[in-house]
Amino acid sequence: MMKYLENLCLLNGTSGAEAAVRDYIISQLGDVPYTVDNLGNLIVEKKGKSAPRQKLMLSAHMDEVGLIVTYIQDDGALSFATVGGIDPKALLGKRVRINGLLGVIGTAPVHLTEDDSVMPKEDEMYIDIGAKDKAEAAQYVRQGDTAVFESEVVPFGEGFLKAKALDDRFGCAVLLDILKSDMPYDVTLCFCTMEEIGLKGAGAAANRVKPDIALVIESTTANDVCDVSGADKVCCLGSGAVLSFMDRATVYDRELYKTAMRVAEQNGIAAQTKTRIAGGNDAGAIQPAGEGARVLALSLPTRYIHSAVSTANTEDMKNAAALVKKLIAAFGEME
């Protein structure tokens, strides 16, 4: 799973441009049949030892946050908008890749601003690819081209890992690991598109699969940093997989939530509860699809999410992956 994760995080795939990620996943399927739908979702049927009592779906999204070029300025600088939610503080001074080119995100020098205490807004920044003017830049970049953070996968400290796109290449790595493992029940694995711009792909995938129970594998915001205490931490690195009872897109199935907590405790798998009603994920689109599905989200706690330096803990990854496999067994037995 860790090798899958490293390979996936090094790939680039903003919302609507997930082809490189999808192609890599397909390359790992071998002779397992799959379907790619009109929105680019990759749907794979994983055969287990028997059929579950209710149809099971596991979902992870392939896209990552990034940038899209909106205009090429006369001096060759690229104006951009964000694809997905990125805090402007996570942009300034960062390296990006666009059409294979290296660029840097800049703004007016602090020495020439009237108030150097104000953080520049997104529309006051630009991507510099080293072009001398608009004509040269236009040879390499067009409006609508996308850019992603340039970021290596780097282990550091005691079990920490830094990378871009942990949200949600972690979930994709877990699903790939499940594909290579023996499972007690059949399960449909969905690698979905365009989560970061409004859960677009997952709704279409769920309408096709028509699951009774769906488990979404995600990454979620950890705020366990200096001077933050109590519930404001949301979740903590090193405390295990994150289970949510509600977020801004979904009220999760109470029985699935309780079952997951019980299974984690019975199997000695570290798990924690998300302590803020915040964020959302593909469960919000899967839940109402078709005739409706019972849903649960299981997430990796991640610091500095939606940035070039997303940080997670490898023990949390192992605990989350182990819990997913146990839940396939538990959910497969449900009436």
User: Each residue of 198-220: pLDDT tens digit?
Assistant: 999 999 999 999 999 999 999 99
Q: Is 195 a catalytic residue?
A: yes
Per CATH, 2-64+164-332 and 66-149 having the same topology is answered no
Which CATH superfamily does the domain covering 66-149 fall into? Peptidase M42, domain 2 (2.40.30.40)
User: Each residue of 88-120: pLDDT tens digit?
Assistant: 999 999 999 999 999 999 987 765 566 666 778
HEC string of the chain? CHHHHHHHHCCCCECCCCHHHHHHHHHCCCCCCEEECCCCCEEEEECCCECCCCCEEEEEECCECEEEEEEECCCCCEEEEEECCCCHHHCCCCEEEECCEEEEEECCCHHHCCCCCCCCCHHHCEEECCCCCHHHHHCCCCCCCEEEECCCCEEECCCEEEECCHHHHHHHHHHHHHHCCCCCECEEEEEECCCCCCCHHHHHHHHHHCCCEEEEEEEEECCCCCCCCHHHHCCCCCCCEEECCECCCCECCHHHHHHHHHHHHHCCCCEEECCCCCCCCCHHHHCCCCCCCEEEEEEEEEECCCCCCEEEEHHHHHHHHHHHHHHHHHHHCCC
Domain coordinates in residue numbering, the chain: 2-64+164-332, 66-149
User: Each residue of 228-243: pLDDT tens digit?
Assistant: 999 999 999 999 999 9
- Active-site option among 18, 64, 195, 196: 195
Confirm whether pTM is higher than 0.85.
Answer: yes
CATH for the stretch 2-64+164-332? 3.40.630.10
